[in-house]
Structure 1
Amino acid sequence: MTEIRTPRLLLRRWTDDDLVPLSEINADPDVMRWIGDGSVLDLDRTAEAIEHWEEEWDDEGFGVFAVELLASGELIGAVGLTVDEDLPETRHDVQISWRLGRSFWGQGYASEAAQATLEFALQDRGLDRVVAVNRAGNEESENVIRKLGMEEYANTSDPESGARLTLHSIDLTEYEA
């Protein structure tokens, strides 16, 4: 089982016990406003997301981690890698993303988990490149992207919502520099 420990976090595969806490995070409009079309997800749609992430682990050898606090074991969100087929510009790229419960914002957890995930992608899994997609106006995620050392390479629009998106990337040589 793949696990990553950081100074404060455990990144791990999903368990049945994670469904309710993640569905509570996904039910928060403030959390979800930057994700997809901004709609909250109910328990069933959260279960579908976890199932999809676990299938991606099995198929690709990487996926989205459950993120818990080491000190308490509390689930605080999700951070990981996906192959997003919805956006034409990133159709075959591996994308890093994160989603944390609102009470965990502003404490550096997203950056800590994303940095560990990026290292996992480029060094452990041997990926050549990782991308990040950010909606215009999401300054918090833009800050995490900058901390990861990712560079903007294109702008586009979400085909479903029309929201403006900024595409960022980093490759192994840039990461190691």
Structure 2
Amino acid sequence: MAELRTDRLTLRRWRDSDLEPWAAMNADPEVREHLGALLTREQSDGSVALFQAEFDQRGYGWWAVEVRATGEFIGFAGLDQVDDGMPFTGVEIGWRLARSAWGHGYATEAALSVLSHGFDTLDFPEILAVTTATNLRSQAVMRRIGMTRDPADDFDDPTVPEGPLRPNVLYRITRSTRT
């Protein structure tokens, strides 16, 4: 598994020491605002086990993100296969950071590193990003990393019940259009 480094961040394999802060993030209503229900500690730990298994199987997935200067775990970023049942297919980029890490440019920095890895190392022709229509912060990151949105691609997530989390937006970037 490749470890990615930026000026301020390390994207790396998950460690046991990440489980507690990851669970705290998944129990934070503000972090989960656009994701749905809060996760229990068991669900949170299970997600890390799944992340590691998928990474081992595919060679890419969700990296744990830490601040290089302090070693502090601040969340995750990476690539994943679009879930079955969605109205499109492909590889999706994503990120989730602890509230204390918001507003520092970390999501953009991590996402740019992940995009480079996806295009230059994994040779993906296109990478997608999906979020709820109300998640303006993530949409801003998508635009900052060069992704574009065609409103015709917006969709209602079939895995989410009716409500504010169902309308979603889809952003795209291709290897040939990235800056």
Partners of 1:131 and 1:101 in 2: how far apart? 23
> What corresponds to 1:18 in structure 2?
18
**Is contact 2:90–2:127 with CA below 8 Å preserved after alignment?**
yes
Match runs of 1:15-164 below 5 Å: 15-35=15-35, 38-90=36-88, 92-153=89-150, 154-159=153-158, 160-162=160-162, 163-164=166-167
**Is residue 2:172 matched to residue 1:174?**
no
Structure 1 runs of 4+ off > 3 angstroms?
none
1:165 alignment partner, SS class:
strand
For 1:63-88, what per-residue CA distance to the aligned partner results, in whole angstroms no more than 9, with x for missing partners? 00100000110100011111132452
2: CA distance, partners of 1:156 / 1:70? 37
Secondary structure at the residue paired with 1:137? coil
Superposition RMSD on alpha carbons, in Å? 1.2
Gaps of 5+ in 2: none
The AA in structure 2 aligned to 1:2 is: A
Cα distance in 1, alignment partners of residues 161 and 47 from structure 2: 20
TM-score (norm 2): 0.92
Structure 1: runs of 5 or more not aligned: none
Distance 1:8 1:55, change over 3 A: same
Distance between the aligned counterparts of 1:87 and 1:109, measured in 2? 31
Greater helix share, structure number: 1
Q: How far apart, CA to CA, are the structure 2 residues paired with 1:110 and 1:74?
A: 15
- Paired residues, what number? 173
Larger CA deviation: 140-149 vs 154-163: 154-163
